[in-house]
Amino acid sequence: MSRRLLIDTDPGIDDALALLLALASPDARIEAITVVAGNVPVDLALANARRILAVAAPSRMPPVARGAEAPLKHPLVTAGHVHGDDGLGNLDRVLEPDGRPRYPEPPTVLETGSAAEVILETVDRWGPELTLVALGPLTNLAAAAALDARRLARVGRVVVMGGAVAVPGNVTPAAEFNFYVDPDAAAQVLGLGLPLELVPLDVTGQVVLAQSVLRERLGRCPDDRVARFVLDFTRHGFAFGADHEGGGIVLHDPLAVAVALAPGLVTLEPMSVEVECDGRLTRGMSVADRRAIPSHRKRPPTCRVAVSVDREAVLRLFLDRLCPASA
């Protein structure tokens, strides 16, 4: 059975890997892609989504919608040091032997409406069949809720990559990047009562892809175009990972897509999670009520949080979809 997905994203190296995972999965049907400012400004996010689709060349091209340019209240913080100036490992600087750009500006794909409107229209169309996968700051989801929270509530599942529950943050000691960029949106979305599954750093940090493993698998991939694309845009990410993340690329966003496709890859625990919006030291912090005595927990759960992950199964699924083992 195909899972209908709407992917909200800010590509981003690991976002690109997540999109390629979804596009390569026969059990996934991407109904729409919406982009948001986060890892890169929104127009770069839009261009990157178009570039990924142009290389992947799916038989059915999903519509792409441009979303929020800035967080609800705070100035935009981006992550060019992690993802490259263009968000995809500086692909604009990759040249063919004759000096031509290897990745020229991609053709325009169908763009329709604002991201918030497209989210609501897609929920209207598919309701409980739809899984909304959020890979960036939650600004677009908050905007959709502001337009019509009741319509948004008809969605079947919401899988969010974000937060750090019992581990340190990755942009400050307290906060994970997506929640830090737009803490107000994260707080609002977690308070909506949606069927939300949170995939935080606690589990994503355990799923690290080694460069040698990726190279070996892609060397057997029948689709040379996609393999070369992945090797080119991940080069910057592996260089960053060698200095900061133990020698690999952490599959934050691919894990969220994997959970959307195969929920059994993680163990989920109901929790009340709130987000600190204004703290000088704690902006974007995920505050989960994990007190041992149940009577001390005053708020009902706001989501289900992934607390453990089958790391090997995730890596196997990711590599098998990106480049089947039989290749």
b (16+ CB within 10 A) / e for 214-231? beebbeebebeebbbbbb
Enter the tokens of residue 287.
């505050």
Could you give the CA distance from residue 314 to residue 303 in angstroms, rounded to a whole number?
22
Q: How far apart are the first and last CA of the chain?
A: 24
Catalytic residues: 252
DSSP 8-state assignment for residue 4: E
Could you give the CA distance from residue 304 to residue 310 in angstroms, rounded to a whole number?
17
Backbone angles phi, psi at 41, to 5 degrees: -60, 160
User: Helix (H, G, I), strand (E, B), or coil: what is residue 66?
Assistant: strand
Q: List strand residue ranges (DSSP E) for the chain, in order.
A: 3-9, 28-35, 64-66, 111-114, 130-134, 157-161, 196-199, 208-210, 248-250, 266-271, 273-275, 286-288, 303-309
Could you give the CA distance from residue 38 to residue 230 in angstroms, rounded to a whole number?
21
How many helices (H) and strands (E) the chain has is answered by: 12, 13
List C-alpha distances in Å: 64 to 61, 67, 313: 9, 10, 30
Q: List strand residue ranges (DSSP E) for 136-225, in order.
A: 157-161, 196-199, 208-210
